[in-house]
Amino acid sequence: MAEQVRWGIIGPGNIARQFAEGLAVSKTGTLVAAGSRTLSRAEEFCAKHGGKAYGSYEEVLNNPEVDAVYIATPHHTHMNDTIACAKAGKAILCEKPFTLNALEAERALAAVREAGVFFMEAFMYRCTAQTAKIREWIDSGIIGEVKLVNTSFAFQAGEEWANFRNDPALGGGGLMDVGAYCVSLARLAFGEEPSDAWYVSQPSSKGVDWIGSGMLKFSGNRSAVFQRALVLSAATTRSSWEPRGASSLMILGRTARVTRFDATKVGTPSLRNLILVSPMLRFMPPKPTLSRNTLKPASAHTSPSKTLFNR
């Protein structure tokens, strides 16, 4: 077995916790450091998950034992965090959405290219067996030319006003948080960038987009729609948000379609077993598969250039 990748985490929140739990069972990675702007938060995190606790992000980047950094900070700091990691020569796994806009993404990836480090936007779903199978089916033509994509995704950030997802200044809002999955999946299915986009969204009292719909136009007048929500009601339990409806997926080709789907249940491909039911767009705890000596994407379905453009 290749030597394990030694991970540092910056921004030890809920997603970082899930990542650390994934690392604990991974054979390819181990946690060596975690940094927070508040030392006590990092200490609390490392007490549970291991690694050395730091009261700043810089100290994690300066630790020579750290091979790769998982950036789990709020969206609005991703550009600067990525640039800092690249300058420190660390491999980078950055939470989605990568940055707040394309200009920030281009600036950060320029630093990545200059440093020659590994970079991946943490759209973990692109590394799963089911995504590989979907791309295989699309590429092989078994479902025919992709015509329509329909996705939805919801997350119960509710009226938790301290959650950065509810703060416009921190890059909050439903499109950045869960809508990003829908847009990413449409780009994956069509294998190109949309030429037009429309978005209708209902703002929260704090000004982030909470519930909304979007439509994307691809070449040849092919199209995708998506709906997303950060909240319906703080009083509503997650039971009303079970996968059917809360997160859904339909990729409709000329001759068949893929509907919420679990690759573990797939037998011989046929029109019949393309249609299976399983949560698709839920958060998948990452399983780091990078070896320390061969830092490369776990899947061909993600790359820095695919973060920027499908070309």
Contact status, residue 125 vs residue 131, Cβ threshold 8 Å: yes
Helix (H, G, I), strand (E, B) or coil at 279: coil
The 107-146 site mask, x for binding its own copies (CB under 8 A), equals -------------------------------------x--
Contact status, residue 84 vs residue 61, Cβ threshold 8 Å: yes
Residue 250 binding its own copies, by CB under 8 A: yes
- Two structure tokens written together for 149: 């994509």
Helix (H, G, I), strand (E, B) or coil at 197: strand
Considering only 29, 253, 288, 304, the residue that binds its own copies (CB under 8 A) is 253
Q: How many residues bind its own copies (CB under 8 A)?
A: 44
Q: Which of 261, 224, 255 is nearest to 141 (CA)?
A: 255
End-to-end Cα distance, the chain = 34
The 146-165 site mask, x for binding its own copies (CB under 8 A), equals -xx-x-x-------------
Helix (H, G, I), strand (E, B) or coil at 92: strand
Q: Is 198 exposed, middle or buried (0-12, 13-18, 19+ CB in 10 A)?
A: exposed
Q: Which is nearer to its own copies, 19 or 226 (CB)?
A: 226
Residue 268 binding its own copies, by CB under 8 A: no
Q: Tokens 């789990």, residue? A: 72
Q: Which is nearer to its own copies, 66 or 252 (CB)?
A: 252
Helix (H, G, I), strand (E, B) or coil at 85: helix
Quick one: DSSP state of residue 64? T
Q: Which is nearer to its own copies, 9 or 250 (CB)?
A: 250
Region binding its own copies by CB under 8 A among candidate stretches 128-136, 156-164, 220-228, 282-290: 220-228
Quick one: DSSP state of residue 267? -
Considering only 90, 165, 257, 306, the residue that binds its own copies (CB under 8 A) is 257
Considering only 56, 80, 163, 213, the residue that binds its own copies (CB under 8 A) is 213
Considering only 24, 103, 110, 200, the residue that binds its own copies (CB under 8 A) is 200
User: Where on the chain is the footprint of its own copies (CB under 8 A)?
Assistant: 144, 147-148, 150, 152, 196, 198, 200-203, 211-215, 217, 220-227, 229, 232-233, 235-236, 239-240, 244-245, 250, 252-257, 259, 271, 275
